[in-house]
Structure 1
Amino acid sequence: MNAATLAEEATPNPLLPASYDILWSAVCIAIIAFFLVRYAVPRLTAMLDERAAKIEAGLQQAERAQEAAAAAEEQIAAELGQARREAASVREQAQAEAKEIVAEARAKAQAEADRVTETAARQVEADRQAAQISLRTDVGMLATELASRIVGESVRDQALQARVIDRFLDELEAQTADKGAAATTREA
């Protein structure tokens, strides 16, 4: 061996640490690893497990909230459908009541119209009879006066006057009836 090889062997490699440094470094790493495995890793694992449990609970709660929201939505839809059916029923009932009210009002109006027509017919009949009586009286007086002038003496006897008036009016009615019948046959 030569001297140069010996000198190289005696000089340590600067990239490799000394053997005692490697030994003490390994002991320190072992101690740190022991404390990490013994104390830090279980706490870290417990913290991660707790966090995973919270996340899982939050997901389950969100799932339950979605189910509750879906159930509430279905209930709202059912109640809305029920409300629509009730509204339709109320509308139909209101329309039926309106028809009843209109029919009742028409019936009352028809009854009132019938009553007014009947009253008017009675009034017309009463007026016609009053006019007939007045006409009979006036015609009777004229006929009596005319008969008195024609005969030349006064016709003051009541019975005689009544007979003359009745006969004169009967003749007038017969003539009027004959003219009405003749006009009716011409129209036909």
Structure 2
Amino acid sequence: MTAHFSAALAAAQTDEPQGIELFLPAGYDVLWSAVVLVIIAVAFYKFILPPMNKILDERATLIEGGIEKAEAAQKAADEALAKQQELLAEARAEAAQVREEARAEGTVIVNDLKAKASEEAGRITETAHRQIEAERQSAVVSLRTEVGTLATELASKIVGESLEDSARQSRVVDRFLDELEASQAVASNKEA
């Protein structure tokens, strides 16, 4: 036993922790660690934490302001896009209306020009018919005069006496031309 006791006494003198003391530090270590920790915490709380909080608050404010600005810009962009699309739709509708109006005006102008051209053609045709009729009448009068003179001369030569009496001459010419017209009418009826 004495050996046992002397070993326990020797172990107690060396101050090596045994058992649970292995996991627990010494009291003076805990005390000085707590003092250092309090000093560091106070210094951190007084000198480092306020500027850090200030920087974080400024950044949070900037981020919130940036987000608000981005939202406002997005809203403005959406409104501008909607307005642009509305203006584009209005411009397309207006362009379609202008095209339709131009088509309608073009149709009116074409119809008006056709009517004027038709009217002008009718007027020109009527003028030509009148001119042809006037020239035909002039030719008939001229022809009657020449044919009358020739017929009178020819009849005078055939009959042997002068037919210079104008009433007689006029009757002979009229009768000759009536017979000529009747023969032409019969000839044209046969052709038809």
Report the equivalent of 2:110: 102
Distance (Å, rounded) in 2 between the aligned partners of 1:124 and 1:79? 65
The letter of the residue matching 2:56 is L
Deviates more, 1:169-178 or 1:18-27: 18-27
2:156 is equivalent to residue 151 of structure 1 = no
Which residue matches 2:188?
180
The reply to whether residue 58 of structure 1 matches residue 66 of structure 2 is yes
Compute the displacement of 1:28 (Å): 4.5
Q: Which residue of 1 aligns with 2:43?
A: 35
| Structure 2 CA distance for aligned equivalents of residues 98 and 40 of structure 1 | 84
Deviation at 1:61, TM superposition (A): 1.8
**Distance in 1 between residues matched to 2:12 and 2:103, nearest whole Å:** 123
Partner amino acid, structure 2, of 1:102: V
Encode CA deviations 1:100-143: one digit per residue, 9 max, x unaligned.
11111111111111111111111111111111111111111111
Change (3 A) 1:120 1:6: closer
Q: CA RMSD in A?
A: 2.6
2:123 maps to 115
Worse-superposed segment, 156-165 or 58-67: 58-67
Alpha-carbon distance, 1:4 to partner: 6.1
Query: What does 1:74-113 align with in structure 2 at a 5 Å threshold?
Result: 74-113=82-121
Does the alignment pair 1:160 with 2:159?
no
Change (3 A) 1:106 1:6: closer
* Counterpart position of 1:13: none
CA 1:145–1:32: 2 relative to 1, 3 Å? same
What pairs up with 1:123-142 in 2 under 5 angstroms? Answer: 123-142=131-150
Corresponding position of 2:52: 44
TM-score in terms of structure 2 length: 0.80
Q: Confirm whether residue 72 of structure 1 aligns to residue 80 of structure 2.
A: yes
Aligned length: 179
One-letter identity of the residue aligned with 1:45? N
Shift of 1:86: 0.1
Shift of 1:64: 2.1
Measured in 2, the distance between the counterparts of 1:169 and 1:97 equals 59
Which runs of structure 1 show a deviation greater than 4 angstroms over 4 or more consecutive aligned residues? 1-7, 18-26
Give the drift of 1:20.
Answer: 7.9
The 1:148–1:39 alpha-carbon spacing in structure 2 relative to 1, beyond 3 Å, is same
d(CA) in 2 for partners of 1:65 and 1:6?
A: 78
Gaps of 5+ in 2: 16-25
5+ unaligned residues in a row in structure 1: which ranges?
Answer: 10-17
Q: Which amino acid aligns with 2:134?
A: A
TM-score by length of 1: 0.81
User: Shift of the alpha carbon at 1:169?
Assistant: 0.9
